[in-house]
């Protein structure tokens, strides 16, 4: 069974600084998808960024980028120029690339606090 581990329950960063959230996963599959989701307080979970395992290039979405190390089974999220609106729970998630299998396996989350 696949597992996702987020070892940092809480992180904080000064506004405008850069922070990196860690995620490791365990799988015997060679092809899969990895995601970072953001869940602001009392608000809906939204997708931040996704990475396909077959792509060597790290995904980037504006201030958000990932460091995907397939051999190490590591998938960290870097947030540059942190903003107050980035404060949220961040979940790392894994999914198999099978059509019709929507199951996401989530990590336990990292609560990110932005210090003004």
Partner 1 sequence: KAGVTQTPRYLIKTRGQQVTLSCSPISGHRSVSWYQQTPGQGLQFLFEYFSETQRNKGNFPGRFSGRQFSNSRSEMNVSTLELGDSALYLCASSFDGGYEETQYFGPGTRLLVL
Site for partner 1, rule CB under 8 A: 33, 37, 43-47, 50, 91, 95-109
Closest CB 45 distance from partner 1, rounded Å: 4
- Comparing CB distances to partner 1, the nearer of 37 and 68 is 37
- Comparing CB distances to partner 1, the nearer of 12 and 98 is 98
What distance in Å separates the CA atoms of residue 112 and residue 107, rounded to the nearest whole number? 15
Instruction: Please spell the DSSP secondary structure of 42-97, one letter per residue.
Output: TS--EEEEEEETT--SPPEETTEEEEEETTTTEEEEEE-S--GGG-EEEEEEEE--
- Comparing CB distances to partner 1, the nearer of 68 and 91 is 91
- Please report where in the chains the tokens 């581990």 appear, as a residue: 5
Closest CB 103 distance from partner 1, rounded Å: 5
Closest CB 111 distance from partner 1, rounded Å: 12
What distance in Å separates the CA atoms of residue 90 and residue 38, rounded to the nearest whole number? 5
Closest CB 10 distance from partner 1, rounded Å: 14
- Comparing CB distances to partner 1, the nearer of 28 and 101 is 101
Q: If we measure between CA atoms, which residue out of 92, 53, 97, 100 comes closest to residue 72?
A: 53
């Amino acid at each position: 069974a696949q597992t996702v581990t987020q070892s940092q329950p809480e992180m904080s960063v000064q506004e405008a600084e850069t922070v990196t959230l860690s995620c490791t996963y365990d799988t015997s599959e060679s092809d899969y998808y990895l995601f970072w989701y953001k869940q602001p307080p009392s608000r809906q979970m939204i997708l931040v960024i996704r990475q396909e395992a077959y792509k060597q290039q790290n995904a980037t979405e504006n201030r958000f980028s990932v460091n995907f190390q397939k051999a190490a089974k590591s998938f960290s999220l870097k947030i540059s120029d942190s903003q107050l609106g980035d404060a949220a729970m961040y979940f790392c998630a894994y999914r198999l690339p099978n059509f019709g299998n929507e199951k996401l396996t989530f990590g336990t989350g990292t609560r990110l606090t932005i210090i003004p």
